[in-house]
Structure 1
Amino acid sequence: MDKNLQFKDLWAVILGGSSGFGYAAVERLALHGMNIAVIYRENKSSDKALKESLAKIEAANTGKILPFNINALDADARASFINNFAAFAGKKSVKVLLHSIARGNLKPLTIKNNVEDGEYNTLSIEDIQLTTYAMSNSLLDWTRSLLKADLFNTDGRIIGLTSEGAHKYWDSYAAVSIAKASLESLAKYMAVEFSTYGLKTNVIQAGVTETASLKMIPGSEKLLEIGVKRNPLGRLTKPEDVAGVIYLLCTDESFWINGSIIHVDGGEHCL
């Protein structure tokens, strides 16, 4: 099979495709003929630059790439996307839904030294709820919306992204940690309950990766430094490492992988 046409007439819907793992997945899936709807939220100048980059990827490959600068967490925006997208994609054409939204609150749980400090904002319940919806529960809404519109392929794949921070302490990462732990649990239930539609749901746990999202975490420099020393293969994980596994999870050979947390970290999690 010509790998440039491997996914001809099939679509990927990528939530959070403007940078990091999502953008790397666009590049990789496009190489194999996948048509891609890229959903992201950027300002006017960033939007223009991203659309130019996506147009170059499209021109170099055989599939279509459709950019949608919308709020993926807004129900009306999601409904509007489904209506517009269905005209391009057609029924049962979505091979993969990738959830790569990185939107959350990075705050500590407690005030500094028990002294009120306006600059030391603490995590609120609302912060936790917003972060959990953005980085976990929104995957369920998008899955249901695509299913209701009969857009999922009968051998569709759903992929989420988690991190080691779901299982260990990282400074000011509590809200994201809660969201990632929630995503892992949600994916387990989705793997069972959505299997009736032929969907396979898996989560990728990437190693420490130098992305814009990671750099927002307090003490990220230390995470990067330790990540290199700790990794058995002596380097950080790259977005393209993860994109390669996202591609593999879309292939026929991955048909029987469902409900798994897949470590893509060069063995980092072993140490």
Structure 2
Amino acid sequence: MPLKGSWALVFGVSSGMGRETARALAGAGCHIIGVHFDLAEGREQAERYAESLGELGVEAHFFNRNVAAKHARAELVPVIRDLTSGAGLRVVLHSVAYGTLTNLLPAPDDQEERAEEVSPQQLSMTVEVMGHSLVYWIQDLVRAELLPRGAKVFAMTSAGGTRVLPGYAPVSAAKAALEAHVRHLAVELAPRGVAVNAIRAGTTITPALRKIPGSEKLIAHCRDVNPGGRLTRTEDVAEAIVTLSSSDSSWLTGNVIGVDGGEALVV
């Protein structure tokens, strides 16, 4: 069990890909430091989830913080150093789905689904949270020497980073920026033996997907055409991340890795 006793930092730990990956990593013996951003009910659910991970025989420490806030990094990086006893992190998963879903321009009056044009504040916030925050966290973790040789960094992207989906424009820009950051971080961290990759999951029913305009049509179409005969599940993504994290090699880096059963080949 190569992950046993190591530590993982999971952003977006309370739902979707982050939640299931935390469970899979804990099942492999990895201690979990989770960051999420929820209101009262969601916070209570996250706390119960952390307790359930602890029942798997690992430590699980969750923090309800804004992942994009500078003060959150300033607070949590020393905590991560203390929890890991300075040994650092084996896995970092950036699974952040917080942004504005709208168009760049107002929709014509005759369109069934109306959307307002994106504001500068909405566009900046979406790209900052879902894209640039990865860079800021990696900068601080490197300065604190918390990414040892063999560490793995994963960022969750989507097919929407290179395709046009209604109401997805700000998030699409954020995903494109995220993938660019992955490439550059991979090259800059290569001398340290740290691998950085983006995971492009297939269409997966998560709370974030449900918020996308027209998601039901997208779900039905992708279910029909996926060569595997079903949609991607969060468990598929979690399994891939655990598998990739189990190797000490840093030679698989700088990629956008599709975990979709071949969906991107036929959609």
- TM-score band, normalised by shorter chain: over 0.9
Return the TM-score normalized by structure 2.
0.94
C-alpha separation between the residues in 2 aligned to 1:153 and 1:23?
24
TM-score w.r.t. length of structure 1 = 0.93
Checking the alignment, whether the CA contact within 8 Å between 2:107 and 2:116 is kept in structure 1 is: no
Match of 1:23 in 2: 19
Q: What do the CA deviations read for 1:64-84 (whole angstroms, capped 9, x no partner)?
A: 110111111100111101122
State whether structure 2 residue 51 is matched by structure 1 residue 55. yes
In the TM superposition, what whole-angstrom CA distance separates every residue of 1:158-199 from its partner, at most 9, and x where no partner exists?
Answer: 101111111111101001111111111111111101112221
Aligned Cα root-mean-square deviation (Å): 1.5
Aligned residue pairs total: 263
Which whole-Å CA distance do the structure 1 matches of 2:234 and 2:107 have between them? 35
- Partners in 1 of 2:20 and 2:205 — Cα distance? 13
Contact in 1 for aligned 2:193/2:250 (Cα 8 Å): no
Partner deviation per Cα, 1:9-60 (whole Å, 9 max, x = no partner): 311001111000000001100011101100001112221122112211211x
Paired residue type of 1:8: K
Q: CA deviation at 1:247?
A: 0.6
CA separation of 1:233 and 1:254: change in aligned 2, threshold 3 A: farther
Q: Does 1:67 align with 2:62?
A: yes
Q: Match of 2:243? A: 248
Using the alignment, how far apart are the partners of 1:120 and 1:166 within structure 2? 20
Moved over 4 A (4+): none
Identity, in percent, stands at 33
Shift of 1:120: 4.2
Amino acid at match of 1:217: I
Output aligned runs, 1:63-212, within 5 Å. 63-113=58-108, 120-212=115-207
1:7 shift after superposition: 1.9
The SS at the match of 1:143 is helix
1:234 aligned residue: 229
Instruction: Report the residue type matching 1:155 in the other structure.
Output: G
Residue type of the partner of 1:7? L
Q: Partner of 2:153: helix, strand, or coil? A: strand
Q: Deviations over 1:187-244 (max 9, x none)?
A: 1111101112221100111000000000000000001000101101110000010001
